[in-house]
Amino acid sequence: MAQMGTSAVWHDADKSWEMRELPLPELERDAIQIRVKATSVCGSDLHMWRGDGIPEGAPPRDPFVFGHEMMGEVAAMGDKITTDSMRRPLKEGDRVAYSYFFPCARCYNCLRGEFGACKFRMGRKPLDEWPVCNGGFAQYYYLRSPNYVFKLPDAISDAAAAPINCALAQVYEALHLGGVRLGDNIVVQGAGGLGVNATAVARELGASKVIVIDSQKPRLDLAIQCGATHTIDMNEYDTPESRIDRVMELTNGIGADKVIEVVGFPAVVEEGLKMVRMRGIYLEVGHISPNSFATIDVSTMVANQVRFYGIQHYDPWIIPNAIDFLERTADKYPLTSVVSHEFPLDQIGKAFETAEWLGTQKGSEVTRAVITP
């Protein structure tokens, strides 16, 4: 009889959660079964939970398990697995961080070493199809081959490790692709989990000014602790024009070398592009919902020679670098404080309601909520 594990299944039809026992896949020789210890409620999870981007009147999505920003411990390994992806000995019970997507290693992009751009990397399937355990809001997660898994140092707690494979790794990739250089002026649109991580990484890469924009004071306060040199409170600067003017004032009329967007609403993009200096770079990370349309004056982008990068996922080498960054800067940036709330799996509904911030101040104290299965 197959081993079972509890998963939080989301039902679109009545907007409800169900705790369901699902069978664990039979372990393949080159696969790893992860016992999930902590999964964050990422901003993209809130988009999925709300149904952002789904047209009104569209049929409900099939019941599914989601969640991706997670860490866990090795529950079982196939007999071909003896080390982690850095060739360090790996055994059952070891705490690990891992990428939640699976590059095929056999397509054009993978052959070029661009694993984060593999078109076949996700492959989410219905709950009655293999491999079943395909979401992080569950007791178990199945790492099929090819997998990228990295042992965690004891100094990093479970809750602090959960954001490594998304909030930290994703912005690390974006700022790496953007080529942040010593002396750059950076604008971060949003001070949630990705935003405060982007702030710390930008400062560590040598940014001169890091300007963080948000409407939630606790988040802006944390951003200051994580390296922000200036913050723009949207309650004080309550129009796009006033925020753009403030960025120009702080950059001596030049604009930002790089602007990174980690909110996920189209109007933010329209605003942020006007903060970029001539030949500057706009890094779009936050938009994962379908039907996200922004009105952009392309002629202005061309005249200002603005480079626009869309970033989703990352190459595997980012994760060990992110782990090293988190451990190395523990006394410098309070990134472990990004996680502000923890909930057991059976209280996942309360976790999402607490983390929600859109249209309410209720979630204003939450920088990251974590589910602990």
**Same-domain status, 206 and 109:** no
Does 362 lie in the same domain as 284? no
Residues 232 and 347 in one domain: no
What's the whole-number mean pLDDT along residues 346-371? 80
20 within a domain of the structure (yes/no): yes
291 in a structural domain: yes
The predicted-structure confidence for 234-262, as pLDDT tens digits, reads as follows 999 999 999 999 999 999 999 999 999 99
Same domain, 270 and 354: no
Same domain, 64 and 153: yes
Alpha-helix runs per DSSP H in 166-209: 167-178, 193-204
In this structure, the number of other CB atoms found within 10 A of the CB of residue 188 comes to: 32
| Alpha carbon distance 71, 319 (integer Å) | 12
Q: In the predicted model, what is the mean pLDDT of the chain? A: 92
Statement to judge: residues 53 and 176 lie in one domain: no
- pLDDT for 87 beyond 80: yes
Domain presence at residue 335: no
Once rounded to an integer, what is the mean pLDDT over residues 73-102?
97
Cβ neighbors of 54 (< 8 A, separation 6 or more) are 61, 290, 291
Element at 163 (helix H, strand E)? none
Is 80 exceeded by the pLDDT of residue 123? Answer: no
Q: Let me know if residue 332 belongs to a domain.
A: no
Q: Are residues 154 and 283 in the same domain?
A: no
Q: Are residues 8 and 116 in the same domain?
A: yes
User: Does the residue 54 lie in any domain?
Assistant: yes
Question: Structure tokens of 342?
Answer: 């923890």
Residue 287 has pLDDT above 80, yes or no: no
Q: How does residue 363 score in pLDDT terms, banded at 50, 70 and 90?
A: very low
Residue 66 CA to residue 138 CA, distance in Å, equals: 9
Cα–Cα distance measured from residue 300 to residue 51, given in angstroms and rounded to the nearest whole number: 33
Residue count (the chain) = 373
Structure tokens at 102: 């699976």
Between residues 324 and 131, the one the model is more confident about: 324
Q: For residues 200 and 207, what is the distance between their CA atoms, to the nearest angstrom?
A: 10
Is residue 158 located within the same domain as residue 189? Answer: no
Instruction: Examine residue 288 and state whether it is found in any structural domain, yes or no.
Output: yes
The boundaries of the domain holding residue 367 are 4-165+340-372
Which of 257, 290, 310 represents a domain boundary (last residue)?
Answer: 310
Per cent of the chain over pLDDT 90 is: 74
Asked whether residue 47 falls in the same domain as residue 125, the answer is yes
CATH number of the domain where residue 272 is located: 3.40.50.720
The verdict on 115 and 28 lying in the same domain is: yes
Q: Read off the pLDDT of each residue in 16-22 and give the average, rounded to a whole number.
A: 95
How many angstroms separate the CA atoms of 44 and 251, rounded?
A: 31
pLDDT tens-place string over residues 208-236? 999 999 998 989 999 999 999 999 999 99
Does 182 share its domain with 83?
no
Cα(43)–Cα(49) distance, integer angstroms: 10
DSSP per-residue string spanning 73-125: EEEEE-TT--B-TTS-B--TT-EEEE-SS---SSSHHHHTT-GGG-TTS----
- Three-class DSSP category at 343: strand
User: Which residue bears the tokens 């890094």?
Assistant: 283
CATH number at residue 116: 3.90.180.10
Nearest in space to 6 (alpha carbons), one of 17, 313, 173, 120: 17
Residue 321 within a domain: no
pLDDT band with cut points at 50, 70 and 90 for residue 43: confident
Q: Please state the domain count of the chain.
A: 2
- For residue 133, is it within any domain? yes
Average pLDDT, integer, range 94-107: 94
